[in-house]
Structures are given as structure tokens and as C-alpha cells.
Amino acid sequence: MRLRTHVLSSLLAGVALYPRAPRRVALLVAGGVGLDIDHYLIYALRSGNWKPLSAWRYDGWRHMARAASDTRRRYGPLRSAFHHAGVTLPIVWGLQLVWPVLRPLALGVTLHLALDLPFLRLDWRVWRRAAGHCERCGTTKRRLDVVYLVPPRHGGASWALENRALWCRRCRLQVFG
């Protein structure tokens, strides 16, 4: 998930939950955005560039499809163990048991991890449209999954129904390898 999305979503959640407590909002945003510090650190370590602004710009284009003329280096997935819910959620929810003021932080971190989840398979709009058939070959016999026709990391729309389809395993393998 883009950093921008995390900033906006945690800000909205913070204001909705704590309309009169700006400090709690700030804490929730710190949790919701701060988790991506691991991306920044891994980026800086791999690129040798510690300027936060460069990392922010990198985050802006690293998910886009690569044009032939694009020779900029890419540094792969920038996730550390902190992006595993099983590691981080027990830590933050444990901390807020000891220090209840940290609850907004725990909420922010939880929101962040939830947004990073692959919700694709749960898109009921696609399942309803496909009515149990593979939308490419029509089979009902194989395991079906929701796929992106143009993956978001290649510039496809993340949420648009037109960019999602219910395909069987074989079609997925044929097209995406």
C-alpha cells in the first residue's frame, strides 16, 4: 500500500475516532504511518541515499510499470519483519495493555497492516459477476481466484471492477506464468 494511502486513512480514522483529541489522532497517525519506516530504512540501506525526500519520491514510482527508457534502479520489496501481523500486533497490543495511552498507536498499526492485506479474493462483486465460472475459459471445475488483469504494480487500477476477473488456476498460469 502506498505511503500516501496510509497517511490519509490513518488521519481519517483518527479524526473519526477521536474528534476532540488531537494528540490521540497524532498517535494513531504515527502508528499508521510509522510502520513504513522499515521501508525507508531498507531503501536507505540498499540505495545508500538517506534523504527522506528521495525515499518518498521512490515510493511514488516504484509500483509503476517500467518503461523501456527507464533505467532507474529498483530495490525490491522493502518489507521487514514488522510488516508481519504475527510479530507486530502482539507487541503493540501488549504495550497498550501496560500503557493504555498507546491504544491509538496500536489501532494505527492494526489499520496499516489491514490495508496491506490482499483483499482481492474477497471481492464479492467479481464473484457475483462470474457466477461460479472462470471468466476466461468458463470452467467450474478448477479452483477460482480473483486476479488483476493489469497488476497495480504495472499501473493497473487497484479497486476498479473492470481490472479484476475471476480466473481458474490454469488460466492464471497461462497468462501470468
| Nearest distance from C-beta of residue 100 to Zn ion, angstroms | 25
C-alpha cell at 148: 488483476
Listed in sequence order, the residues at least 6 apart from 97 whose beta carbon sits closer than 8 Å to its beta carbon are none
Our CB check for Zn ion shows the closer of 24 and 112 to be: 112
Q: Which of 37, 137, 150, 160 binds Zn ion (CB under 5 A)?
A: 137
Partners of 164 in the beta sheet?
A: 148
Q: Residue 157, interface with Zn ion (CB under 5 A)?
A: no
| Nearest distance from C-beta of residue 138 to Zn ion, angstroms | 7
CB of 104 closer than 8 Å to CB of 27: yes
Instruction: Tell me how far apart the alpha carbons of residues 140 and 123 are, in angstroms, rounded to a whole number.
Output: 18
Partners of 145 in the beta sheet?
A: 167
Q: Which of 38, 59, 116, 123 binds Zn ion (CB under 5 A)?
A: 116
Q: Residue 59, interface with Zn ion (CB under 5 A)?
A: no
| Nearest distance from C-beta of residue 82 to Zn ion, angstroms | 9
Which amino acid belongs to residue 107?
Answer: L
Question: Can you give the binding site for Zn ion, defined by CB under 5 A?
Answer: 36, 116, 134, 136-137, 168, 171
